Structure 1
Amino acid sequence: MSHTSDHRKGLLLTAIGGLALSIDIPLVRLGEGDIWSILGMRSAATVLATLVILGAMRLASGKWPILVPGRPGLLAGLLYGLSSLTFVLAVFNTNTANVVFIVAFNPMFGALLSWIFLKEKPQPATLIAMLFMILGVGLIVSEGLSSGHAFGDAMALLSALILAAAITVGRASRREMGFVPLLAAFLPAVLGLAQALPSGLAIAHPGWILFNGAVVMPVAFWCLATGPRYLSAPEVGMFYLLETVLAPIWVWLIFAETPAAMTLVGGSILVATIAAHSLWMARRKSIRQVL
């Protein structure tokens, strides 16, 4: 009964995290500001919210939680900070659908980096999934090249690679990294504010950006970081698909931005591949447990 309760808790947490993450890009777009102002305010709000949470935890437990675990934590934090920068650059330089579909390549980058640096050879099914995902990303990037979105698509691909590298560092160190992604927002906050403040912040609707940075992002990261305590990695991966599927829908409903046909084809290949691979891994794990 306890196992069932924990599993339901994990499903609820990851569902909330995935839904919260799916409204990140729409909120950035609703802010209607320049890239440096939004990057700085969104990241600064995340850092301030994290410090408030840490202070509350300190008062409740009488001790500070692990914040940055040594050099691996610093390296992972630098990578998380860079991924935030490249992600926002992607949002401002290509279509939303392109961003979320390309960033969905992150798990396959993770498998590739684990193979190279951690000597964790991927299963044949994972290698096959990589080939299909390369095809999907290739279709989306080819559309970006023809429509002038090449830089934004490249930033989305770089964001996926950097994020996968940060996760790989965390796995290799086997240390607690829960607060590292949130505190790492300090780097893009400093960079964004340094660029924006000399001429003044230029955001038409700052409330959306503050809500995104102070509430949505901490909730999303905390829930998705806690979910793996109760669920298998494939199950958690399925909930990351919520952003991939829902973010373009929210943007289409709010801004009437319709993805290009080639983007939809490539995105469909990516979503179908990730879903099939995650279901295969979950089934394989359940068979092992039975045996």
Structure 2
Amino acid sequence: MSQTNDPALHRKGLLITAVGGLSLSFDIPLVRASNGEVWSVLAVRCFATFLVALAAWGVLHFLLGRRIALIPGWTGLLIGLCYGGNSLAFMLAVFNTATANVVFIYAFTSMFAAILSWVFLRERPTNATLVTMAVMIGGIGLIVQDGLQSGNFFGDAMAAAAAFMVASAITLSRKSGADMGLVPLATAVIPGIAALALLPAGGIAIANPGFILFDGLIMIPLAFWCLATGPRYLSGPEVGMFYLLETVLAPIWVWIAFSETPTTQTLAGGAILILALLGHSLWQMRRKAKAARAADVAAEFPFSG
């Protein structure tokens, strides 16, 4: 399991995952801008990401003399399958419901990570985290109810599945403590192969392939590497919190580029999710700062009390 007690390593983890969350916020706008058929977009995006993984592995292995496993053992493969399932479910969500629905439901990643950490890592969530979960479930309920009314339930369900898969990958990465930075990039080939098998009769159909190539070659590899590396320095729920950047920013980019306005009910549910996560994050930071001050006092006066 990763160590997160070192403040310097914790700050490093925060920076890495922040870059990952910001990069991920451009994923949906780039997918939308490519104007392609779902399986075509998924195939090109995944194979582009896989090529980046091979190139990065080659640079690290041959030019820098750094030996690194592309997929570290069976745990790495299992994590890769989780990321592959996430890519598949996420793409189906993007093509079957509104952007706001996707990213707001996807924000539940941090709470899924908290639940999985509780079950498998014996890291019991605090009472504040449990309360936050309950509030967020209420917010997601509003969004899913809106999806049922508008016929977007399948897309909403795929967004929830994507959140669960990536939370599973975060939890497994944290438990292993190994370097999993290349795993989500290398195993992107799995959903890519599945997408090739489901292509329409005419083959690849993407009106603006430059956008999806930029997404697959640059933005997704950067985002996935950062977010897969984060669990080495941060807890699972903390890494999940940085998916909130996509939750906040992706609907803004889509609104600016495509004039897609969320429904009032979706915005209400999203606001509940964001405020719950923000309040929980601020509480966590305050609690950690208080614990750090107490540790400093104990170190300065070891025989007091």
If the length of structure 2 is used for normalisation, what is the TM-score?
0.88
Amino-acid identity (%): 57
- Report if the CA contact (8 A) 2:97-2:152 is conserved: yes
2:225 pairs with one of 214, 222, 227: 222
User: CA offsets per residue over residues 26-74 of structure 1, 9 Å max, x none?
Assistant: 0000111111000000000000011111111123322431322221111
Offset of residue 83 of structure 1: 0.9
Are 2:164 and 1:164 equivalent residues in the alignment? no
1:254 pairs with one of 253, 257, 260: 257
Offset of residue 237 of structure 1: 5.0
Matched AA of 1:67:
L
Who is 2:205 aligned against? 202
- Report if the CA contact (8 A) 1:41-1:193 is conserved: no
Write out aligned runs for 1:142-181 (5 A): 142-181=145-184
Matched AA of 2:87:
S
Who is 2:112 aligned against? 109
CA RMSD of aligned residues (A): 2.2
Who is 1:38 aligned against? 41
Matched AA of 2:156:
D
Who is 1:270 aligned against? 273
Matched AA of 1:202:
A
CA distance in 2, matches of 1:120, 1:229: 16
Q: Taking structure 1 as reference, are residues 98 and 208 closer, same or farther at Cα in structure 2, changes over 3 Å only?
A: same
Q: Taking structure 1 as reference, are residues 19 and 253 closer, same or farther at Cα in structure 2, changes over 3 Å only?
A: same
- Where structure 1 has 5 or more consecutive residues not aligned to the other structure, the ranges are none
User: CA offsets per residue over residues 96-146 of structure 1, 9 Å max, x none?
Assistant: 000000010011111112222333221100100000000010000000000
- Report if the CA contact (8 A) 2:27-2:220 is conserved: yes
Which structure has the bigger radius of gyration? 2
Matched AA of 1:97:
A
2:142 pairs with one of 121, 139, 158: 139
Offset of residue 230 of structure 1: 6.5
CA distance in 2, matches of 1:17, 1:249: 18
Aligned residues: 289
Matched AA of 1:141:
V
Who is 2:95 aligned against? 92
Q: Which has the higher helix share?
A: 1
Offset of residue 13 of structure 1: 4.0
Q: Taking structure 1 as reference, are residues 142 and 278 closer, same or farther at Cα in structure 2, changes over 3 Å only?
A: same
Who is 2:292 aligned against? 289
- Report if the CA contact (8 A) 1:24-1:217 is conserved: yes
Who is 1:213 aligned against? 216
2:68 pairs with one of 65, 68, 71: 65
User: CA offsets per residue over residues 150-171 of structure 1, 9 Å max, x none?
Assistant: 0000000111111112222222
Q: Taking structure 1 as reference, are residues 6 and 286 closer, same or farther at Cα in structure 2, changes over 3 Å only?
A: same
Offset of residue 184 of structure 1: 1.6
